[in-house]
Amino acid sequence: MRFSPRRIAAILTKEFLQLRRDKLTLAMIIGVPLLQLCLFGFAINLNPKNLPTAISVGDPGIFARSIVAALENSSYFQIVAQTNSPAAARRMLREGQVIFVVEIPVNFTRDIVRGARPDLLIESDATDPAAGSYALAAFNNLAGTALRDDLVGPLKARAQGPPPFNAVSHLLYNPESNTQYNIVPGLLAIILTMTMVLMTCLALTRERERGTYENLLAMPATPLEIMIGKITPNIVIGAIQSSLILLMARFIFGVPMIGSLGLLTAALTVYIIANLAVGYTFSTVAQNQLQAMQMTLFFILPTVMLSGFAFPFMGMPGWARALGEVLPATHFLRVVRGIMLKGNGAIDIWPDMWPLALFTLAAGTVALLRFRRTLD
Amino acid sequence: MTASLAIDVRGLTKRFGNKLAVDHIDIAVPEGQVWGFLGPNGSGKTTTIRMLCGLLRADDGRGTCLGLDFRTQSEAIKRQVGYMTQRFSFWEDLSIRENLDFVARLYGIRNRRARIDETLDQLGLAQRQRQLAGELSGGWKQRMALAACMLHDPRLLLLDEPTAGVDPKARRDFWEEIHALSERGLTRPSAATALSTS
């Protein structure tokens, strides 16, 4: 047969006609680049500023005030809490409300005046080493500059020579700044979302696409029975995946497991159910398996980018963080890192467990409500 | 024969958006007979059957199917009806036996093994029971589908174009089977009915 531009034109026309009717693919062609541009362009910040910081003041002298001002002026730190109890500050660090605690020691003013060069301690939540590294560098520079305006007159001598105090930083929970400590537990959240949402969504759309769904509905089985029967295998798969990742984390990547495995299992169960409910809800909307995959992609993309898995959560602007707070992965990431690296207990993870449970409840309700007993 | 009615509905109506798919039809089918339900393509035969067995909600109409209100008692109707879909709708990655076993368990059939063996013999499927449903030819698929919707001793068979796309010999065999079943009252002593579009 001779090469025929006319036949090519016919095929082209057919392709465009089909594309025009495939609304979800069209949405993806426009939506995915737009979403990526917005997220990478506006939300992701590899040099995060205004990081929440608690300050524990053991000496409320004039120098302490200058230190607070210098921290805020550096634009890396945002003082969200001031306390005179180091224990309270440490607690905020553990719960993830702040990622830095600056500790101004007792007799700070006196020691500076005497030239004893006291230590100014910053404790940093190093579970995500990337989040705080620029801020820590800025903190170390403070020693030379923070008190310059105060060291005048008789104290002028202190402004020369070595800095008037030592900036000391402690990296908590991950002292060697191993990025694996952050990534591997994070993968638990991401991999589970990917497979749980997709598998559940496919399981139901496959029945619909092949026509077996009509048969299932014609037989005596209730929506709840079908839902439980179709979802349970995926819970088992989720459990196998979780065990695999946790074993690899422990024995290949050497990620510590300081907290309770039982607590982690409980949190994992809630998280897996949350994702299954999302997958089930998608499956009630998606008409075929292709759409199921596309919808899953739309869910995975923000989950990877906004949850704090790939990029520091605290570095994102408020709107992106607000979006991130809706996603189950964001909360689960904090819970996993908290339990594994910080040894958090049930009370510590509660601030992230209730939003996760709420999400699960809401998604589960939508999934059940959207299930139709009929083919309408 | 003072037969009571297996299907007795009046004013059955279904709309899809603005499109009127079924417009106030009345059906009365006596028990124990094989009835044909004829009409051109797109005339609403499938939609009607789906409404009768509770797969679609009717917009209007009232009546009974096997003495049960088809609008409110569809769960009970489902247990006594065998519905054979127009398109083959069993699991192609399961064998004939596995498909039948699944169906039997959903209906909660007692003596499942014996009942499946019996049905397989009756429809000449016994030798192929380990074959995957997806590997069967059109005629054998129809047989398997018929076997599946008869497993639970339905009082009413709803067959939606059961022999479309099947060769004339297989088609004749199929209908002979249906008539034989009807004469035997399916397997139940009470009268059984088959409503078929073709």
ipTM of the complex: 0.85
Option in B56, B81, B106 nearest A376 (CB) = B56
Interface size between A and B, measured as CB pairs under 8 A: 45
Domains in chain B, number: 1
Same domain, A61 and A184: no
The CATH number for B38's domain is 3.40.50.300
Same domain, A324 and A211: yes
In this structure, what token pair is assigned to residue A321? 């963080």
The CATH number for A74's domain is 3.40.1710.10
Residues B136-147 have a mean pLDDT of 90
Asked if A1 reaches chain B (Cβ–Cβ under 8 Å), the answer is no
Q: Across the beta sheet with B5-16, what order do the strands follow?
A: B19-30, B5-16, B60-65, B68-69
For residue B13, pLDDT beyond 50: yes
Does a structural domain hold residue A294?
yes
Per-residue pLDDT for chain A (376 aa), expressed as one digit of tens each? 888 899 999 999 999 999 888 888 888 888 888 988 988 888 888 888 889 999 999 888 888 888 888 898 888 999 999 988 888 998 899 888 899 999 999 888 888 888 888 889 999 998 888 888 889 988 888 877 877 777 777 777 766 777 888 888 899 898 888 888 888 889 999 999 999 999 999 988 998 888 898 888 889 887 778 888 988 999 999 999 999 999 999 999 989 999 999 999 999 999 999 999 999 989 888 888 999 999 998 899 999 999 989 888 888 888 999 999 999 999 999 999 999 999 999 998 999 999 999 999 999 888 888 877 667 7
Q: In DSSP terms, which residues pair with A125 in a beta bridge?
A: A172
Return the DSSP state at B3: P
Same domain, A202 and A335: yes
Q: Name the closest residue on chain B to residue A210, using Cα atoms.
A: B89
Same domain, A279 and A196: yes
Domains in chain A, number: 2
Same domain, A209 and A66: no
Domain boundaries, position B43:
5-197
Residues B106-130 have a mean pLDDT of 92
For residue B2, pLDDT beyond 50: no
Option in A214, A220, A374 nearest B106 (CB) = A220
What pLDDT score was predicted for residue B193?
58
Same domain, A259 and A139: no
Q: Read off the pLDDT band of B190 (50, 70, 90).
A: very low
Per-residue pLDDT tens digits for B45-61: 889 989 988 888 899 99
Candidates B91, B102, B151, partner chain A, best to mutate (most A CBs within 10 A): B91
Same domain, A151 and A291: no
Same domain, A131 and A186: no
Option in B54, B85, B103 nearest A211 (CB) = B85
What pLDDT score was predicted for residue B191?
39
Chain B: give the shortest CA distance to residue A338, in Å: 44
Same domain, A264 and A359: yes
Q: Look at residues A172, A187, A222 and tell me which one is the last residue of a structural domain.
A: A172
Could you tell me how many residues make up chain B?
Answer: 198
How far is the first Cα of chain B from the last one, in angstroms, to the nearest whole number?
26
Coil/strand/helix, residue B92: coil
Same domain, A229 and A355: yes
Q: Name the closest residue on chain B to residue A213, using Cα atoms.
A: B89
Q: Across the beta sheet with A166-172, what order do the strands follow?
A: A77-83, A51-57, A100-104, A119-125, A166-172
Same domain, A357 and A276: yes
Domain boundaries, position A320:
179-370
pTM value is 0.82
Per-residue pLDDT tens digits for B17-32: 889 999 999 988 888 7
Q: Say how far apart CA A109 and CA A147 lie, in whole Å.
A: 11
In this structure, what token pair is assigned to residue B61? 């109409």
Does a structural domain hold residue A94?
yes
Per-residue pLDDT tens digits for B174-189: 888 888 777 766 544 3
Does a structural domain hold residue A46?
no
- Helix spans in chain A (H): 5-21, 23-38, 62-73, 86-95, 108-114, 129-145, 156-159, 179-210, 212-218, 223-251, 261-285, 289-306, 318-326, 328-337, 346-370
Q: Look at residues A172, A188, A215 and tell me which one is the last residue of a structural domain.
A: A172
Contact B55 A214 (CB under 8 A): yes
Asked if A228 reaches chain B (Cβ–Cβ under 8 Å), the answer is no
Same domain, A348 and A249: yes
